[in-house]
Structure 1
Amino acid sequence: MHTHLSAGEFTALTGLSAKALRLYAERGVLSPDTVDPHTNYRSYSPAQLRQGVTVDLLRRAGVPVTELTRWADYPFADRRQELALRRAMEDFSLDVAEEISRSDLARLTVQSTPADPLPWAGVSYGFPVPGEAQERIEVFGAQALVLPAVDAAFEEAMTDLGLAPATHRWTAVPEATGPAAAQQAAMVIARPCSTDLSAAGRRHVAERVQQHSGVAVAVVTGTLPRRLEITFPVDGLDERTPVQEAAHDYQQLLAFAHHCTREGLTMIGKSARQVVAGSSLSTPAAPPTTVFDAQPNA
């Protein structure tokens, strides 16, 4: 009876390739029982077959190599939950894609409103985007609490500086490029502001927001140029399913791009602004309006 198995025999019995065996040995996942000091031939114990088969099956199930050292007490229930969440997210994306592929953009009514230049001030903050489905859900779910807290502290700070409450405000996603953009998300909260903020005023806003919300922000300012504000008003949004709501966001983007092409307009920015009437995101006077900005024809 063999007391050891050659690498070839171990491969045949477990399904692990020679390349995988070398990798797992380097990573400390599955090391040979013995290595001949003269020939470097690797041998495995029959007792390692259970480990080899389990590791092979875990990899077939998509378990990362970094987690294979836990093969003996692997958290199968947690993994199944993660896979179920991932599958639910994949199904949702498929449903949204199907909704968009079948939609008629011509049914969206375009409303174009000329707007004068508008100075603004705002705060910008970033947050990481985890790779795991459960962690992503938790991070983006937390933004439902973080965003109003940052907004409230920002408005309080602006009031401290003697500015009147804003008649409206908006959120936007700043443009980001480079490898870090895939692992980091960002948000801007802005409001009209015709007063130049001093260095001391900017420090006050940043400190007040961090003190009251726990979020480190950068104070940003700018001016929206003379523009056309393009919207696509619709009725019955309350009756839409989550899939239809998500698809509607993409449909508006596609309709805006089509409108710009047809009318010879130039987009301002790469994403829309979510505009809210009133001085607070948490208690808006009306539902948010998706506004796309475009440079008017000369």
Structure 2
Amino acid sequence: MLSIGEFANTTGISVKALRHYDETKALVPFEVDAATGYRRYSESQVRDGALLQTLRAAGVPLPAAAGALRDGDAADVLRRHRSEVLQKRDAEDTAMTAADAVLTAFARPAAVEERHLGATPFVARVIQLTADLDAAGVDGAGREGIAPTDEDAHRAFADLYQHCVEAGLEPGPAFWTSLREAPGSPARAPELQMLLCWPVARNPETGDASWDDERILADELPPRTELVAVWRADGADLPDGSVHPAVVALFDALAQRGVALQSQEVRQRVVGEGESDLAVEVAVTLP
């Protein structure tokens, strides 16, 4: 029989860990003296102690390591743990690569300027979003409450453009998207809306039944001064879900000017002649 100190020296498990393993039933002493409480281990338990120490040193969680001793499948447990670790490392490597791309993009300067614009009539396809955009996910069916894929957004823009043309509204080329809090939503739990907007020469006539759709908004941006940030991709590929550098540059500029926005609606559009000349413009209306 081995005392707890002798067993610790033999297996490499600390006395403190052995007491914990006893309390959690991961590795129970062969006997415990009723009078003194001293723990004693049998020679046959050295193998289990060595296996437990080996699995724990490899990062195997204690419940899984204890189960391996009980079921006699230490090699399988280690193999499964290794697979999980490698998957996690792959995910971490991917996240590191994405973070590096984002930091590189943030370091690239964006042009910021003020623009004075007249009234801009527009029509928009309104898409309800969940308040937590990360939880919204992506749904190819374009269900309400789900952020649309790029393909879905392009299709919705095309359908809206065709509707505008057929109605004689003369849609312009500079379409944009924007995010805003839904009108009338509670401040503590605001609902979000994505607007897919086409500028038009005139809004639909009142009473035109073809526009009688709660998912369509006809409105007008009033004469305004916009603060606009323009960021050119120059071949950079931003990871999905990252905050766009143009948005960061825009809010940096707002902070530098000491501007407190009255409306949090941010408008974004893509400009350029081709893929090599693409730029993202992000704008807000200055108070």
Q: CA–CA distance in 1 between the matches of 2:58 and 2:180?
A: 39
**Code of the aligned partner of 1:13:** T
Residues 1:128 and 1:250: Cα distance change in structure 2 (over 3 Å):
closer
Residues 1:16 and 1:147: Cα distance change in structure 2 (over 3 Å):
farther
Q: CA–CA distance in 2 between the matches of 1:128 and 1:246?
A: 11
Q: CA–CA distance in 2 between the matches of 1:46 and 1:109?
A: 74
Question: Shift of the alpha carbon at 1:76?
Answer: 2.6
Higher helix proportion (structure 1 or 2): 1
**Code of the aligned partner of 1:33:** F
Residues 1:190 and 1:248: Cα distance change in structure 2 (over 3 Å):
closer
Whether the 8 Å contact between 1:108 and 1:232 is mirrored in structure 2 is: yes
Match of 1:262 among 256, 263, 270: 256
**Code of the aligned partner of 1:30:** L
Identity of aligned residues (%): 22
Question: Shift of the alpha carbon at 1:19?
Answer: 1.5
Whether the 8 Å contact between 1:105 and 1:255 is mirrored in structure 2 is: no
**1:119-130 matches, cutoff 5 A:** 122-124=128-130
Does 2:107 align with 1:105?
yes
Does 2:39 align with 1:20?
no
TM-score (norm 2): 0.53
Whether the 8 Å contact between 2:3 and 2:40 is mirrored in structure 1 is: yes
Aligned to 1:90: 92
Write the deviation string for residues 239-278 of structure 1: whole angstroms up to 9, x where unpaired.
545xx546974644542342222222236899x979799x
Report the 3-state secondary structure (helix = DSSP H, G, I; strand = E; otherwise coil) of the residue aligned with 1:266.
coil
Match of 1:65 among 62, 66, 71: 62
Write the deviation string for residues 130-168 of structure 1: whole angstroms up to 9, x where unpaired.
xxxxxxxxxx9xx444784455899xxxxxxxxxx9787
Whether the 8 Å contact between 1:99 and 1:247 is mirrored in structure 2 is: no
Aligned to 1:137: none
Report the 3-state secondary structure (helix = DSSP H, G, I; strand = E; otherwise coil) of the residue aligned with 1:23.
helix
Report the 3-state secondary structure (helix = DSSP H, G, I; strand = E; otherwise coil) of the residue aligned with 2:111.
coil
Question: Shift of the alpha carbon at 1:37?
Answer: 0.9
Question: Shift of the alpha carbon at 1:16?
Answer: 1.2
Whether the 8 Å contact between 2:4 and 2:41 is mirrored in structure 1 is: yes
Report the 3-state secondary structure (helix = DSSP H, G, I; strand = E; otherwise coil) of the residue aligned with 1:43.
strand
Residues 1:149 and 1:93: Cα distance change in structure 2 (over 3 Å):
same
Report the 3-state secondary structure (helix = DSSP H, G, I; strand = E; otherwise coil) of the residue aligned with 1:122.
strand
Question: Shift of the alpha carbon at 1:82?
Answer: 1.7
**Code of the aligned partner of 2:30:** D
Residues 1:20 and 1:259: Cα distance change in structure 2 (over 3 Å):
same
Q: CA–CA distance in 1 between the matches of 2:244 and 2:138?
A: 21
Q: CA–CA distance in 1 between the matches of 2:108 and 2:255?
A: 14
Report the 3-state secondary structure (helix = DSSP H, G, I; strand = E; otherwise coil) of the residue aligned with 1:30.
coil
Report the 3-state secondary structure (helix = DSSP H, G, I; strand = E; otherwise coil) of the residue aligned with 2:26.
coil
| More contact order relative to length (CA 8 Å, sep ≥ 6) | 1
Whether the 8 Å contact between 1:109 and 1:233 is mirrored in structure 2 is: yes
Q: CA–CA distance in 1 between the matches of 2:86 and 2:266?
A: 33
**Code of the aligned partner of 1:41:** Y
Write the deviation string for residues 14-34 of structure 1: whole angstroms up to 9, x where unpaired.
121112112122222111111
Report the 3-state secondary structure (helix = DSSP H, G, I; strand = E; otherwise coil) of the residue aligned with 1:28.
coil
Write the deviation string for residues 25-77 of structure 1: whole angstroms up to 9, x where unpaired.
22221111111111111111222222212222222222222322222324333
Greater gyration radius: 2
Aligned to 1:210: none
- Uncovered stretches (5+) of structure 2, i.e. residues with no partner: 149-158, 162-175, 182-190, 197-213, 215-223, 271-277
**1:167-182 matches, cutoff 5 A:** none
Whether the 8 Å contact between 1:33 and 1:43 is mirrored in structure 2 is: yes
Q: CA–CA distance in 1 between the matches of 2:229 and 2:255?
A: 16
Does 2:286 align with 1:296?
yes
**Code of the aligned partner of 2:286:** P
Q: CA–CA distance in 2 between the matches of 1:10 and 1:51?
A: 11
Whether the 8 Å contact between 2:267 and 2:282 is mirrored in structure 1 is: yes
Whether the 8 Å contact between 1:55 and 1:68 is mirrored in structure 2 is: yes
Aligned to 2:202: none
Match of 1:5 among 2, 8, 13: 2
Q: Tell me the C-alpha RMSD between the 2 structures.
A: 5.0
Whether the 8 Å contact between 1:100 and 1:247 is mirrored in structure 2 is: no
Whether the 8 Å contact between 1:121 and 1:191 is mirrored in structure 2 is: yes
